[in-house]
Amino acid sequence: MPDDIYARLAGCEGFDWDDGNAPKVRGRHDVQPGECEQAFVSEPLLVSDDPAHSQHEERWRALGGTLGGRRLYLVFTLRRGVLIRVLAARDMNRKERRIYEQAKARIEEDPDVQV
């Protein structure tokens, strides 16, 4: 990745929820904003850039889990550099779950491994 999105996320101060994105996230796939937030603070969080959808602003895709064990695929951007704005969220598909679980197993084997 051109810049370290993980460092940028570590510097974030919170989330940007409003009447535009919160109802969309809930309505499309019944994912609550709190579940999205949990995915960003749970380990592992796997992030990749999304250049195909980054014409107007940088966007990323993330795989993360909730405290309740739900596995989420998220699309997000950063607003004002310090707020995470979730644009879409849904349950991971089979391929995404496999990638996520493999990364999680590698981290459990060796906490210092980079995934």
CB contact set of 42 (below 8 Å; sequence gap of 6+): 64, 65, 66, 67
Note the pLDDT of residue 111: 78
pLDDT at 1: 40
Q: What fold does the segment set 5-109 form as a domain?
A: Nuclear Transport Factor 2; Chain: A, (3.10.450)
Query: Amino acid identity of 107?
Result: I
What is residue 87's predicted lDDT score, i.e. its pLDDT? 94
pLDDT recorded at residue 2: 42
Q: How far apart are CA 41 and CA 95, in angstroms?
A: 22
Domain ranges, ordered by start, for the chain = 5-109
- Indicate the pTM of the whole model: 0.89
Angstrom distance (rounded) from CA 94 to CA 70: 13
Output the tens digit of pLDDT for each of the chain's 115 residues.
Answer: 446 999 999 999 999 999 988 999 899 899 999 999 999 999 899 999 988 877 788 999 999 999 999 999 999 999 998 999 999 999 999 999 999 999 999 988 887 777 6
